[in-house]
């Protein structure tokens, strides 16, 4: 690894950034004053992105906590370890701050990065020794003291009852912290703590919730501040050096860049209905159906569906013809050209700031809140059970597979439900999981092309 400063200087700077102590888990309080070559700047970030993307995939596939703990450990060893422990710590801290710069720039990026980093921190904390965990509690300056012996004896029976209710031994731990209940919402929601007079009694084995809450708060504030600095000075000052790297790295938020699939072909207006039947995900099929039915979509639907078609290979001229053909049946061609054509050209980077907008990811679509009369969003999240079953039946999904999909929906694993739908309708496994509508389209086209090639080769013989 080519770093300008010595290993000893790096280790000292890393410790100052929150990587000191007996444990190996930094708190990322402040960026270390290091001089890092651009190639390491990017490579470190890519390795950490592989870890965060692996965590995202694990969560979307509904892995249990014990499975996630094993997954995080394996991902970290594969992508972030180094034979020199000091180098591992340096890589950890540098890569975090590089990605903080990359993912500070929009609310969507901040939300994803904050969620994945918090999850990573949670499982890494659980793998730390008890002594290291105590040191991290001190480092976060949590204002909680362990119950005294007399305080513990007063609530011991209640704590035993809670322990039994969650399947633990009635012989409860002796170290507990009394904290405001709002500090541990996850423990309260899962009924894993005793509550009394606005306080939750948190066992030492549960303090990860306290630490993670503080960690998430710190990182969330830091991302907002970083975004201000990026917008005010860094973006322009580094436009020829760091800015291109940062923008390239942010595309990795969705895995491959599905805004313009490299293996896609140009599609025309006459292709859309047939492609919808064979290769559109449920969210896009639904919006096409509603567009054909109403000859109109509200702004959210036009953005979600229009950018999807753009990413699938629909060129600007065809996009204008497609939307004009539908909307003119309701609002007329003149009104379409006056009120709607501009926004379509804008999405293709031909108006306004000339920004070439990219299609929405599953995360963005799932987090949307469609209003009355809207048809965008994620069907797995926003449809009622009866409507979702009917829509899946229309796609040919039924029986055990349908029930499995509905079970994932009930447990809020919407992307996994979409992945199971893809597998059921295409007859192949999708190990990477679905995380973008254009990925669904691209993978579907690959499967269909492969099947057509097989049929053609069999016919030739």
> How far is the C-alpha of 23 from the C-alpha of 457, rounded, in Å?
59
Per-residue burial over 209-241, b if 16 or more Cβ lie within 10 Å, else e, is bbbbbbbbeebeebbeebbeebeeebeeeeeee
Backbone dihedral angles phi then psi of residue 237, each to the nearest 5 degrees: -65, -35
> How far is the C-alpha of 166 from the C-alpha of 339, rounded, in Å?
58
- By three-state DSSP, how is residue 266 classified? coil
Torsion of CA 47, 50, 51, 53, to 10 degrees: 150
> How far is the C-alpha of 138 from the C-alpha of 434, rounded, in Å?
40
> How far is the C-alpha of 249 from the C-alpha of 115, rounded, in Å?
18
Report helix angle 208-229 to 85-102, nearest 10: 60
What angle (nearest 5°) sits at the alpha carbon of residue 47, between those of residues 45 and 52? 90
Per-residue burial over 72-106, b if 16 or more Cβ lie within 10 Å, else e, is beebbeebbeeeeebbbbbbbbbbbbbbbbbbbbe
Q: Which residue has the tokens 């979307």?
A: 60
The answer to whether 319 and 348 are in contact (CB under 8 A) is yes
Strands 199-203 vs 194-196: parallel, antiparallel or unpaired: antiparallel
What is the DSSP code (8-state) at residue 147?
P
Provide the annotated binding site. 283, 362, 378, 418
Helices (H), 166-298: 185-189, 208-229, 235-237, 242-250, 272-279, 282-294
Provide the annotated binding site for [4Fe-4S] cluster. 283, 362, 378, 418
Q: Which residues, in sequence order, are CB contacts of 360 under 8 Å at separation 6+?
A: 303, 304, 307, 308, 437
Q: Distances from the Cα of 373 to the Cαs of 82, 290, 297, 360, 367, in angstroms?
A: 54, 10, 9, 20, 18
Backbone dihedral angles phi then psi of residue 199, each to the nearest 5 degrees: -120, 150
Q: Which residue has the tokens 């003119």?
A: 328
Q: Which residues, in sequence order, are CB contacts of 272 under 8 Å at separation 6+?
A: 288, 309, 314, 322
């Amino acid at each position: 690894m080519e770093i300008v400063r010595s290993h000893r200087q790096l280790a000292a700077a890393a410790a100052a950034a929150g990587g000191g102590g007996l444990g190996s888990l930094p708190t990322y309080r402040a960026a270390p004053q290091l001089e890092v070559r651009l190639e390491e700047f990017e490579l470190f970030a890519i390795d950490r992105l592989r870890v965060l993307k692996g965590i995202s995939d694990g969560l979307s596939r509904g892995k249990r906590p014990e499975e996630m703990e094993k997954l995080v450990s394996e991902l970290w060893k594969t992508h972030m370890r180094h034979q020199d422990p000091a180098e591992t710590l340096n890589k950890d801290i540098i890569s975090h701050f590089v990605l903080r710069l990359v993912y500070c720039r929009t609310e969507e990026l901040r939300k994803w990065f904050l969620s994945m980093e918090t999850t990573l921190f949670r499982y890494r904390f659980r793998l730390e020794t008890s002594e290291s965990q105590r040191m991290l509690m001190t480092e976060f300056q949590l204002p909680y003291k362990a119950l005294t012996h007399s305080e513990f004896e007063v609530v011991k029976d209640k704590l035993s009852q809670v322990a039994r209710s969650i399947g633990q031994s009635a012989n409860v731990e002796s170290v507990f912290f009394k904290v405001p209940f709002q500090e541990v919402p996850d423990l309260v929601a899962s009924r894993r703590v005793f509550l009394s007079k606005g306080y939750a009694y948190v066992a030492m084995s549960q303090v990860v919730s306290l630490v993670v809450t503080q960690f998430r708060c710190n990182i969330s504030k830091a991302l907002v501040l970083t975004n201000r600095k990026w917008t005010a000075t860094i973006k322009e000052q580094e436009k020829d050096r760091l800015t291109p790297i940062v923008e390239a790295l942010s595309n990795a938020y969705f895995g491959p860049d599905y805004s313009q699939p490299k293996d896609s072909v140009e599609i025309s207006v006459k292709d859309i209905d047939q492609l919808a039947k064979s290769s559109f995900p449920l969210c896009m099929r639904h919006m096409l159906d509603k567009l054909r039915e109403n000859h109109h979509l509200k702004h959210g639907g036009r953005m979600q569906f229009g950018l999807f078609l753009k990413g699938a290979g629909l060129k600007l001229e065809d996009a204008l013809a497609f939307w004009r053909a539908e909307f003119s049946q309701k609002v007329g061609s003149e009104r379409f050209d006056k009120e709607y054509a501009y926004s379509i050209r804008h999405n293709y980077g031909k108006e306004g700031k000339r920004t070439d907008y990219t299609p929405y990811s599953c995360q963005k679509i799932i987090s949307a809140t469609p209003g009355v009369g809207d048809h965008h969003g994620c069907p797995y999240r926003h449809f009622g059970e009866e409507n979702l079953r009917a829509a899946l039946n229309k796609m040919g999904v039924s029986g055990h597979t349908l029930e499995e999909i509905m079970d994932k929906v009930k447990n809020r694993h919407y992307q996994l439900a979409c992945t199971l739908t893809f597998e059921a309708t295409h007859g192949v496994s999708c190990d990477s999981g679905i995380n973008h509508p254009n990925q669904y389209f691209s993978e579907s086209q690959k499967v269909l092309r492969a099947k057509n090639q097989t049929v053609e080769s069999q016919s030739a013989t």
